[in-house]
Amino acid sequence: MKFFDDIEIGQRREIGSYTFTAEAIKNFAAKFDPQRFHLDEEEGKNSLFGGLAASGWHVGSACMSLLVADGRRLAHEATSRGEEVAVWGPSPGFRDLRWIRPVLAGDTVSYVNVVVDKRVSGSRPGWGILAARTTGTNQRGEEVYSITASAFVPMRTKGG
Amino acid sequence: MKFFDDIEIGQRREIGSYTFTAEAIKNFAAKFDPQRFHLDEEEGKNSLFGGLAASGWHVGSACMSLLVADGRRLAHEATSRGEEVAVWGPSPGFRDLRWIRPVLAGDTVSYVNVVVDKRVSGSRPGWGILAARTTGTNQRGEEVYSITASAFVPMRTKGG
């Protein structure tokens, strides 16, 4: 992961795709969101979604898993180049979480992350706060998901 | 579930509690948020969280599962009383999602739901849009989680 100093507003990363199979949709829903339109094809068809639809929490959690995997890839590549890797802190919050369109069984959602803001933390010396917007787009090019998240990102230690 | 007409701003429901065991925290994280402080006690202790911490998506998904279970209980009770049960539509979005404090292994979070707004839908005749804020509080009385969600809720059919 990058240091605060090395991140620029506007930076864009494709972080990967996730295919929402009927099985994955039902498994997630059975545990965390057992509403009928997330569990059964017919119920989904008869709902406002028009098909077996993934739980919004599934869409968000899948996005999170891709963000983490992408962060690992970046860290691995940086380490391979002999660069120091920053260890990011936790997220102090999300905003503007939007499920714009249903994600139906068989849909593949591609997620893209764009840095939208950065500022120095007032409460934690040596840390900055980064805001990035992640959007998910289905195989028809329709935006289905959007979230803006902030994260604590360390600054390079002076002389470190 | 209630009809739009029968819901009042300010209505408050205790929707249940969820205990975040170390095992549940690690299982969720392994699938959806495999960051070190969600997977390992020592790594958690050495992080800004100060202990093995649940993924925020786990905290939100657990809240969702309690909301659904509570909705079923309400529907079952209404049916038992011979009342008509409304079938709610999907949520058009969430806002103000906040993870206020870490949720650590062994914490029990109790969730409470309060109706904060209701309005008639402009786009879907016969439907209203309800906004409700759900907060999670740990066993020490500290608020750890908050989200405001909206939902499409049907109105009683005239003469139905």
pLDDT number for residue B158: 46
Which residue, chain included where needed, has tokens 């930076």?
A11
Interface check for B96 against chain A (CB to CB < 8 A): the answer is yes
CB contact under 8 A, B65 and A34: yes
Residues in B touching A125 (Cβ below 8 Å): none
Interface check for B90 against chain A (CB to CB < 8 A): the answer is yes
Nearest CA in chain A to B89: A48
Residue range A3-11: mean pLDDT, rounded: 93
Q: Is the ipTM of this complex over 0.90?
A: no
Nearest CA in chain B to A28: B61
pTM, two decimal places: 0.81
Model confidence at A16, pLDDT cuts 50, 70, 90, reads: very high
Model confidence at A99, pLDDT cuts 50, 70, 90, reads: confident
Model confidence at A88, pLDDT cuts 50, 70, 90, reads: confident
Please determine, for residue A13, whether its predicted confidence score (pLDDT) is greater than 90: yes
> A24-44 pLDDT, tens per residue?
999 999 999 998 999 999 999
Beta bridge partners of A120: A128
Residue range A50-74: mean pLDDT, rounded: 92
Question: How much is the CA Rg of chain A, to the nearest whole Å?
Answer: 18
At position A26, the amino acid (one-letter code) is: K
Residues in A touching B32 (Cβ below 8 Å): 61-62, 64-65
CATH code given to domain A4-154 = 3.10.129.10
pLDDT number for residue B92: 65
Residue range A123-145: mean pLDDT, rounded: 94
Q: Distance (Å) from the C-alpha of residue A113 to the closest C-alpha of chain B? A: 16
Please determine, for residue A93, whether its predicted confidence score (pLDDT) is greater than 80: no
pLDDT number for residue A158: 46
Q: Distance (Å) from the C-alpha of residue A45 to the closest C-alpha of chain B? A: 13
pLDDT number for residue A130: 92
Among the residue ranges A83-87, B63-67, B109-113, the one predicted with the least confidence is A83-87
* A53 close to A107: Cβ distance less than 8 angstroms: no
Model confidence at B28, pLDDT cuts 50, 70, 90, reads: very high
Residues in A touching B93 (Cβ below 8 Å): 97-99
Give me chain B's average pLDDT, please.
Answer: 90
Model confidence at B97, pLDDT cuts 50, 70, 90, reads: confident
Give the separation between CA B66 and CA A36, rounded to whole angstroms: 15
Residues in A touching B90 (Cβ below 8 Å): 37, 47-49, 53, 102
Domain ranges in chain B are: 4-154
Give me chain A's average pLDDT, please.
Answer: 90
Please determine, for residue A160, whether its predicted confidence score (pLDDT) is greater than 80: no
Q: Tell me the CA distances in angstroms from B23 to A72, B20, B26, B44, B105, one per residue in order.
A: 23, 8, 5, 14, 9
Residues in B touching A30 (Cβ below 8 Å): none
Tell me which residue of A23, A92, A32, A34 sits closest to A60, measured CA to CA.
Answer: A32
For chain A, the straight-line distance linking the first and the last C-alpha, in angstroms and rounded, comes to 17
> A100-133 pLDDT, tens per residue?
899 999 999 999 999 999 999 888 889 999 999 9
* A119 close to A26: Cβ distance less than 8 angstroms: no
Beta bridge partners of A114: A12, A133
CB contact under 8 A, A68 and B102: no
Please determine, for residue B131, whether its predicted confidence score (pLDDT) is greater than 70: yes
Interface check for A37 against chain B (CB to CB < 8 A): the answer is yes
pLDDT number for residue B53: 96
Please determine, for residue A72, whether its predicted confidence score (pLDDT) is greater than 90: no
- Residue A52's SS3 state is coil
At position B51, the amino acid (one-letter code) is: G
